[in-house]
Amino acid sequence: MRKRFTFQAVDVELNTDCCSPHTNAELTLTLRLPLQQINPKFGAFNGTGNDGKGKEREIVKWSPDIWREYKKDIVRIAEPFWSRKFWLINENYKFPFKLNPGSPDAYYPNIECCFKLVVRDALPADPLTIKVVRLAPGAKFVEHKMLFSDQGRFMEPKMHLTKSVPDPVLHGVSWTVDTGILSQRSLLHEIGHILVLSHVAAGTRLCPWGSDLNRVICYGTNDYEKHSLMGGGEELRPEHAYAWQQALHLFPEAGEEDWPVEMKRPSPKHPMLITSSVQGGCEVSRFVSK
Ligand SMILES: [Zn+2]
Protein backbone atom coordinates (compact mmCIF):
# COMPACT_ATOMS: atom_id res chain seq x y z
CA MET A 1 0.00 0.00 0.00
CA ARG A 2 0.99 3.57 -0.53
CA LYS A 3 -1.08 6.03 1.46
CA ARG A 4 -0.61 9.73 2.02
CA PHE A 5 -2.12 12.33 4.36
CA THR A 6 -1.62 16.02 3.66
CA PHE A 7 -1.67 18.65 6.39
CA GLN A 8 -0.83 22.35 6.43
CA ALA A 9 2.89 21.98 7.06
CA VAL A 10 3.57 18.30 6.56
CA ASP A 11 2.72 15.34 4.35
CA VAL A 12 2.85 11.84 5.81
CA GLU A 13 3.29 8.91 3.46
CA LEU A 14 3.50 5.22 4.29
CA ASN A 15 4.88 3.01 1.57
CA THR A 16 4.85 -0.75 1.99
CA ASP A 17 5.04 -1.35 -1.78
CA CYS A 18 8.83 -1.06 -1.54
CA CYS A 19 9.02 -4.04 0.85
CA SER A 20 11.03 -7.06 -0.13
CA PRO A 21 12.71 -9.71 2.03
CA HIS A 22 15.57 -7.21 2.33
CA THR A 23 13.79 -3.87 2.37
CA ASN A 24 11.74 -2.27 5.11
CA ALA A 25 8.64 -0.15 4.62
CA GLU A 26 9.11 3.63 4.54
CA LEU A 27 7.33 6.34 6.47
CA THR A 28 8.16 9.73 4.98
CA LEU A 29 7.51 13.06 6.62
CA THR A 30 7.70 15.88 4.10
CA LEU A 31 7.98 19.18 5.93
CA ARG A 32 6.99 22.29 4.01
CA LEU A 33 8.48 25.51 5.32
CA PRO A 34 7.36 28.89 3.95
CA LEU A 35 10.33 31.20 4.48
CA GLN A 36 10.05 34.95 4.78
CA GLN A 37 13.06 37.22 4.29
CA ILE A 38 13.63 39.80 7.01
CA ASN A 39 15.55 42.81 5.68
CA PRO A 40 16.70 46.11 7.20
CA LYS A 41 14.06 48.84 7.07
CA PHE A 42 13.59 51.29 4.18
CA GLY A 43 15.56 49.16 1.73
CA ALA A 44 18.85 49.90 3.53
CA PHE A 45 21.72 47.43 3.26
CA ASN A 46 22.51 47.52 7.00
CA GLY A 47 20.10 47.62 9.88
CA THR A 48 18.89 45.77 12.93
CA GLY A 49 16.38 43.06 13.70
CA ASN A 50 15.25 41.41 16.92
CA ASP A 51 16.43 37.94 17.79
CA GLY A 52 14.49 35.21 19.61
CA LYS A 53 15.16 36.89 22.97
CA GLY A 54 14.03 40.30 21.71
CA LYS A 55 17.59 41.65 21.50
CA GLU A 56 18.45 44.00 18.65
CA ARG A 57 21.03 42.46 16.35
CA GLU A 58 22.82 43.72 13.27
CA ILE A 59 21.43 42.36 10.04
CA VAL A 60 22.04 42.98 6.34
CA LYS A 61 19.88 42.84 3.25
CA TRP A 62 19.39 39.53 1.44
CA SER A 63 20.48 39.40 -2.19
CA PRO A 64 18.58 37.12 -4.59
CA ASP A 65 21.64 34.88 -5.03
CA ILE A 66 22.37 34.49 -1.34
CA TRP A 67 18.69 33.81 -0.59
CA ARG A 68 18.58 31.11 -3.27
CA GLU A 69 21.79 29.56 -1.97
CA TYR A 70 20.49 29.64 1.62
CA LYS A 71 17.28 27.80 0.67
CA LYS A 72 19.21 25.14 -1.24
CA ASP A 73 21.70 24.75 1.60
CA ILE A 74 19.21 24.11 4.35
CA VAL A 75 17.58 21.30 2.37
CA ARG A 76 21.00 19.82 1.59
CA ILE A 77 21.95 19.90 5.28
CA ALA A 78 18.69 18.96 7.00
CA GLU A 79 17.45 16.09 4.82
CA PRO A 80 20.37 13.69 5.26
CA PHE A 81 20.67 14.64 8.92
CA TRP A 82 17.10 13.61 9.75
CA SER A 83 16.39 10.97 7.13
CA ARG A 84 16.87 7.20 7.60
CA LYS A 85 18.17 7.54 11.17
CA PHE A 86 15.33 5.75 12.97
CA TRP A 87 13.53 2.44 12.50
CA LEU A 88 10.19 1.65 14.08
CA ILE A 89 10.19 -1.96 15.16
CA ASN A 90 7.41 -4.22 14.00
CA GLU A 91 6.82 -6.04 17.29
CA ASN A 92 3.19 -6.83 16.54
CA TYR A 93 3.65 -8.40 13.13
CA LYS A 94 1.78 -5.80 11.12
CA PHE A 95 1.97 -5.47 7.34
CA PRO A 96 2.67 -9.14 6.55
CA PHE A 97 3.57 -9.77 2.97
CA LYS A 98 4.41 -12.85 0.97
CA LEU A 99 6.58 -13.13 -2.07
CA ASN A 100 3.99 -15.43 -3.68
CA PRO A 101 0.40 -15.71 -2.56
CA GLY A 102 0.83 -19.48 -2.05
CA SER A 103 4.07 -19.18 -0.05
CA PRO A 104 3.98 -20.35 3.60
CA ASP A 105 6.44 -17.61 4.62
CA ALA A 106 5.29 -14.13 5.55
CA TYR A 107 7.66 -11.20 5.93
CA TYR A 108 7.15 -8.40 8.46
CA PRO A 109 8.95 -5.19 7.56
CA ASN A 110 10.12 -2.65 10.08
CA ILE A 111 9.56 0.97 9.21
CA GLU A 112 12.36 3.20 8.06
CA CYS A 113 11.79 6.86 8.97
CA CYS A 114 12.44 9.15 6.01
CA PHE A 115 12.52 12.94 5.97
CA LYS A 116 12.08 15.44 3.18
CA LEU A 117 12.23 19.20 3.38
CA VAL A 118 10.52 21.51 0.91
CA VAL A 119 11.18 25.22 1.25
CA ARG A 120 9.52 28.03 -0.64
CA ASP A 121 9.05 31.77 -0.40
CA ALA A 122 6.22 32.68 1.94
CA LEU A 123 3.02 34.11 0.47
CA PRO A 124 0.96 36.85 2.14
CA ALA A 125 -1.83 34.31 2.70
CA ASP A 126 0.38 31.87 4.64
CA PRO A 127 -0.95 31.57 8.20
CA LEU A 128 2.48 30.73 9.58
CA THR A 129 5.87 31.61 8.16
CA ILE A 130 9.43 31.21 9.28
CA LYS A 131 11.25 34.51 9.29
CA VAL A 132 14.89 34.44 8.25
CA VAL A 133 17.48 37.16 8.85
CA ARG A 134 20.87 37.53 7.22
CA LEU A 135 23.32 38.49 9.94
CA ALA A 136 26.03 41.13 9.67
CA PRO A 137 29.51 39.58 9.97
CA GLY A 138 30.20 38.59 13.58
CA ALA A 139 26.68 39.35 14.81
CA LYS A 140 25.18 37.00 17.40
CA PHE A 141 21.60 35.81 17.18
CA VAL A 142 19.28 33.58 19.20
CA GLU A 143 16.98 31.59 16.93
CA HIS A 144 13.72 29.84 17.58
CA LYS A 145 11.56 27.58 15.48
CA MET A 146 9.81 30.49 13.72
CA LEU A 147 12.88 32.73 13.42
CA PHE A 148 16.02 31.51 11.68
CA SER A 149 19.26 33.20 10.71
CA ASP A 150 21.46 32.46 7.72
CA GLN A 151 24.18 31.37 10.19
CA GLY A 152 22.02 28.59 11.64
CA ARG A 153 23.30 26.20 9.00
CA PHE A 154 26.86 26.45 10.34
CA MET A 155 28.37 24.84 13.44
CA GLU A 156 28.52 27.33 16.27
CA PRO A 157 29.62 26.93 19.88
CA LYS A 158 26.51 26.42 22.00
CA MET A 159 27.43 25.44 25.53
CA HIS A 160 30.18 24.45 27.92
CA LEU A 161 30.79 20.94 29.10
CA THR A 162 31.72 20.90 32.77
CA LYS A 163 33.02 18.53 35.39
CA SER A 164 32.94 18.68 39.17
CA VAL A 165 36.48 18.38 40.58
CA PRO A 166 37.30 18.06 44.30
CA ASP A 167 39.50 20.80 45.68
CA PRO A 168 43.00 19.38 46.26
CA VAL A 169 43.37 21.27 49.54
CA LEU A 170 39.92 22.04 50.94
CA HIS A 171 38.29 18.83 52.07
CA GLY A 172 34.63 18.50 51.00
CA VAL A 173 34.81 21.38 48.53
CA SER A 174 34.57 20.86 44.79
CA TRP A 175 34.74 23.17 41.81
CA THR A 176 33.12 23.13 38.43
CA VAL A 177 35.70 23.18 35.66
CA ASP A 178 35.26 23.57 31.92
CA THR A 179 36.06 20.45 29.93
CA GLY A 180 35.10 21.62 26.47
CA ILE A 181 32.63 23.37 24.26
CA LEU A 182 29.75 21.82 22.34
CA SER A 183 28.84 23.06 18.88
CA GLN A 184 25.64 22.71 16.93
CA ARG A 185 23.88 23.87 13.77
CA SER A 186 20.83 25.58 15.18
CA LEU A 187 18.90 24.88 11.95
CA LEU A 188 18.85 21.17 12.89
CA HIS A 189 17.84 21.89 16.50
CA GLU A 190 14.99 24.17 15.38
CA ILE A 191 13.72 21.53 12.96
CA GLY A 192 13.64 19.26 16.04
CA HIS A 193 11.28 21.78 17.66
CA ILE A 194 9.18 21.89 14.49
CA LEU A 195 8.97 18.09 14.79
CA VAL A 196 7.41 18.80 18.22
CA LEU A 197 10.47 17.97 20.33
CA SER A 198 11.25 19.83 23.55
CA HIS A 199 14.64 20.49 25.06
CA VAL A 200 16.42 17.42 26.34
CA ALA A 201 15.85 18.02 30.05
CA ALA A 202 12.21 19.11 29.72
CA GLY A 203 10.07 17.16 32.15
CA THR A 204 12.91 16.47 34.59
CA ARG A 205 13.05 17.75 38.18
CA LEU A 206 15.29 20.67 37.18
CA CYS A 207 13.19 21.65 34.15
CA PRO A 208 9.64 20.55 34.93
CA TRP A 209 6.74 20.80 32.50
CA GLY A 210 4.95 24.09 33.04
CA SER A 211 8.17 25.99 33.78
CA ASP A 212 10.09 28.03 31.19
CA LEU A 213 11.57 25.23 29.06
CA ASN A 214 14.08 27.59 27.41
CA ARG A 215 16.24 28.05 30.51
CA VAL A 216 19.87 26.98 30.12
CA ILE A 217 19.37 24.01 32.47
CA CYS A 218 16.72 22.61 30.08
CA TYR A 219 19.47 22.14 27.44
CA GLY A 220 21.03 19.45 29.63
CA THR A 221 21.63 18.76 33.29
CA ASN A 222 24.70 16.64 32.55
CA ASP A 223 27.15 16.13 29.69
CA TYR A 224 25.22 13.20 28.23
CA GLU A 225 22.07 15.30 27.92
CA LYS A 226 23.99 18.32 26.63
CA HIS A 227 25.31 16.27 23.67
CA SER A 228 21.74 15.70 22.46
CA LEU A 229 20.48 17.62 19.43
CA MET A 230 17.80 18.98 21.74
CA GLY A 231 20.58 20.13 24.09
CA GLY A 232 23.70 21.85 22.80
CA GLY A 233 25.11 19.10 20.55
CA GLU A 234 24.02 17.19 17.49
CA GLU A 235 23.41 13.66 18.74
CA LEU A 236 20.17 12.08 17.62
CA ARG A 237 18.48 9.84 20.18
CA PRO A 238 15.59 7.35 19.81
CA GLU A 239 13.14 9.81 21.40
CA HIS A 240 13.73 12.15 18.45
CA ALA A 241 11.65 9.77 16.29
CA TYR A 242 8.52 10.92 18.16
CA ALA A 243 6.95 12.63 15.11
CA TRP A 244 7.25 9.43 13.03
CA GLN A 245 5.82 7.34 15.88
CA GLN A 246 2.85 9.69 16.09
CA ALA A 247 2.44 9.89 12.31
CA LEU A 248 2.25 6.11 12.08
CA HIS A 249 -0.93 6.21 14.18
CA LEU A 250 -2.66 7.88 11.21
CA PHE A 251 -2.66 4.45 9.55
CA PRO A 252 -5.09 2.06 11.25
CA GLU A 253 -3.18 -0.87 9.72
CA ALA A 254 -0.28 -0.07 12.09
CA GLY A 255 -2.38 -0.72 15.19
CA GLU A 256 -2.73 1.46 18.26
CA GLU A 257 0.40 0.38 20.08
CA ASP A 258 3.52 2.56 20.06
CA TRP A 259 6.22 1.15 17.84
CA PRO A 260 9.59 1.14 19.63
CA VAL A 261 12.51 2.91 17.99
CA GLU A 262 15.94 1.63 17.06
CA MET A 263 18.73 3.60 15.51
CA LYS A 264 20.37 0.69 13.72
CA ARG A 265 18.72 -1.41 11.09
CA PRO A 266 16.86 -3.93 13.18
CA SER A 267 16.96 -7.70 13.43
CA PRO A 268 13.53 -8.64 14.77
CA LYS A 269 13.07 -11.71 16.92
CA HIS A 270 10.10 -13.98 17.47
CA PRO A 271 9.54 -17.51 18.78
CA MET A 272 8.47 -18.51 15.27
CA LEU A 273 11.57 -16.98 13.77
CA ILE A 274 13.47 -19.47 11.68
CA THR A 275 15.93 -17.29 9.86
CA SER A 276 17.01 -13.71 9.98
CA SER A 277 18.58 -12.29 6.90
CA VAL A 278 20.74 -9.22 6.92
CA GLN A 279 21.54 -8.28 3.38
CA GLY A 280 21.90 -5.17 1.34
CA GLY A 281 21.63 -2.95 4.38
CA CYS A 282 18.01 -3.90 5.03
CA GLU A 283 16.72 -6.67 7.20
CA VAL A 284 13.48 -8.51 7.39
CA SER A 285 12.87 -11.59 9.46
CA ARG A 286 11.34 -14.64 7.99
CA PHE A 287 8.60 -16.47 9.82
CA VAL A 288 6.79 -19.71 9.30
CA SER A 289 3.08 -19.18 9.33
CA LYS A 290 1.15 -21.90 11.09
ZN1 LIG B 1 15.57 25.03 21.44
Tens-level pLDDT at each residue, the chain (290 residues): 999 999 999 999 999 988 877 889 999 999 999 999 999 999 999 999 999 999 999 999 999 999 999 999 999 999 999 999 999 999 898 998 877 777 777 888 999 999 999 999 999 999 899 999 999 999 999 999 999 999 999 999 999 998 888 888 988 898 888 889 999 999 999 999 999 999 999 999 999 999 999 999 999 999 999 999 999 999 999 999 999 999 999 999 999 999 999 999 875 444 354 444 444 333 343 433 33
227 CA to middle of ligand 1, Å?
A: 13
How many angstroms is it from 78 CA to the middle of ligand 1? 16
The answer to whether 16 and 2 have CB atoms below 8 angstroms apart is yes
Residue boundaries of the structural domains of the chain: 2-153+237-288
CA of 47 to the centre of ligand 1 (A): 26
Residue 58 CA to ligand 1 center (angstroms) comes to 22
Spatial distance between the Cα atoms of 197 and 10, rounded to a whole number of angstroms? 15
CA 58 – CA 42 distance, rounded (Å) = 15
Provide the whole-model pTM. 0.88
Q: Report the C-alpha gap between 4 and 29 in whole angstroms.
A: 10
Compute, in angstroms, the gap from residue 89 CA to the centroid of ligand 1: 28
Q: In what order do the strands lie in the sheet with 105-108?
A: 105-108, 282-288, 273-279
Is residue 265 exposed (0-12), middle (13-18) or buried (19+ Cβ within 10 Å)?
Answer: middle
Compute the distance from residue 188 Cα to the ligand 1 centre, in Å. 10
Rounded CA-CA distance 89/109 in Å is 8
Cα separation of the two ends of the chain: 25
Residue count of the chain, please give it.
Answer: 290
Distance of alpha carbon 25 from alpha carbon 113, whole angstroms: 9
Vertex 176 angle, CA 170 and 178, to 5°:
135
CA of 214 to the centre of ligand 1 (A): 7
Give the whole-angstrom CA distance, residue 118 versus residue 32: 5
- CA of 183 from ligand 1 middle (Å) equals 14
The predicted pLDDT at position 179 comes to: 86
Q: Any bridge partners for residue 228, and if so which?
A: 235
Tell me what pLDDT residue 267 has: 53
CB count within 10 Å of CB 153 equals 18
Predicted pLDDT at 287:
38
| H/E segment holding residue 64 | helix 64-82
Q: Give the Å distance between the CA of 190 and the centre of ligand 1.
A: 6
